């Protein structure tokens, strides 16, 4: 399995957990203590706890997808830069 394949699997798990609002596992599995979370139209958030807390501000949706666009690897560190898209719920 390539690193791109592994990232695709992780991105799918992330989208599922995010959609289920199961943010605690997201924080433990996907973010380190020095994480930085960037989201369009909001302030940059630094730190694991603050990043995980910010997930609650996202409105519910009818589905989310996470897609990696660019990646870089240096030894044991892999950075995946991509997008999180949410389909808005129609009430």
pLDDT tens digits along 41-55: 778 989 988 888 887
Is residue 8 over pLDDT 60?
yes
Is residue 86 over pLDDT 70?
no
Picking from 88, 89, 84, 90, the residue whose alpha carbon sits closest to that of residue 40 is 84
Counting Cα atoms < 13 Å in the Cβ hemisphere of 59 gives: 8
Domains, the chain, in order of start with CATH, read 3-88 (3.10.450.50)
Picking from 11, 1, 2, 6, the residue whose alpha carbon sits closest to that of residue 82 is 11
Helices (H), 1-91: 3-19, 23-30, 48-55
pTM: 0.65
pLDDT tens digits along 47-81: 988 888 887 677 666 566 666 666 677 887 777 77
- Taking the C-alpha atoms of residue 60 and residue 55, their distance in angstroms, rounded to an integer, is 11
């Amino acid at each position: 399995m390539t690193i791109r394949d592994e990232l695709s699997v992780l991105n799918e798990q992330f989208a599922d957990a995010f959609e289920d609002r199961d943010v605690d596992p997201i924080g433990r599995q996907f973010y380190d203590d020095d994480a930085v979370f960037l989201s369009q139209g909001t302030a940059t958030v630094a730190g694991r706890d603050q990043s995980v807390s910010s997930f609650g501000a996202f409105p519910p949706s009818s589905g989310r997808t996470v897609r990696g666009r660019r990646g870089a690897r240096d030894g044991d560190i892999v950075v995946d830069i991509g997008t999180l898209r949410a389909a808005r719920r129609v009430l």
